[in-house]
Amino acid sequence: MERRQELCQSLKGQRAVLPNLYSLFPDWTPQLHPEYARAREESTDPWIKRVVENPDIRRKLQEADCTTFAAIMCAKSSFGRLCTVAKWFTWKVGQVESLVPIIMLNESLRASQAMKVAFMLAQESARGFYEVVHNMRQTAKGRHRAVADIFIEGCRNIVMGLTHWSYTGERYFTAGEADDDNTIHFEL
């Protein structure tokens, strides 16, 4: 049996908790492109229907709703750019989706332990981000400060846009699975 199949078999029945990832950047609020719904209805979903022949894959792509992430990334862009980015994210083939299986394989951990390690790494990265933000704002003067603020906002929107997409789309979980504190308990 190949290593990937062994990993999948070992996951069955394990329980894990996805911590509240919004807590990493509590001051962030998602901003969606104002024409998100139109982009999904008129561009992304019809495009998926045209280019994806397999009905199961087509359904999964529609449930994943890559348009949400694109709508955060392109909140202030043109409608055309939003549609292009949404299709690009939808069509990205073979991307690695999760750090957790990599940690499990490399560290010989169970899913719940690997999830805790991954969250610890995310917390450490968020602390580092805040340090860099502080340093950038201390050193950036005049026009450079505005550029630094735009860059910082873009970085935060990427990280939290992916987080928001994971919580609101149905890539991994169905709507309503998150507790009131945005933690998700699940069985593999």
Supply the pLDDT for residue 19: 85
Q: Residue 23: name the closest of 169, 159, 132 by CA.
A: 159
What are the pLDDT digits (tens) for 61-100?
A: 888 888 988 898 899 999 999 999 888 877 755 444 567 7
Q: Residue 137: name the closest of 129, 125, 145 by CA.
A: 145
Of the chain, the percentage scoring pLDDT greater than 90 comes to: 26
Q: How far apart are the first and last CA of the chain?
A: 20
> In this structure, what token pair is assigned to residue 163?
């987080």
Strand-pair partners of 17: 185
Distance from C-alpha of 83 to C-alpha of 80, rounded to nearest angstrom: 5
Q: Where are the beta strands (DSSP E) in the chain?
A: 15-18, 184-187
Residue ranges covered by each domain of the chain: 3-187
**What's phi and psi for 16, nearest 5 deg?**
-145, 160
What are the pLDDT digits (tens) for 143-168?
A: 899 999 999 988 888 888 878 877 77
Helix (H) or strand (E) holding 76: none
**Which amino acid is present at 56?**
D
| Residue 102 pLDDT level (bands cut at 50, 70, 90) | confident
pTM: 0.61
pLDDT at 42 over 70: yes
Which DSSP string corresponds to 91-114? Answer: H--S----HHHHHHHHHT--HHHH
| Cβ(147)–Cβ(140) below 8 Å | yes
Q: Exposed, middle or buried: residue 126 (CB in 10 Å: 0-12, 13-18, 19+)?
A: middle
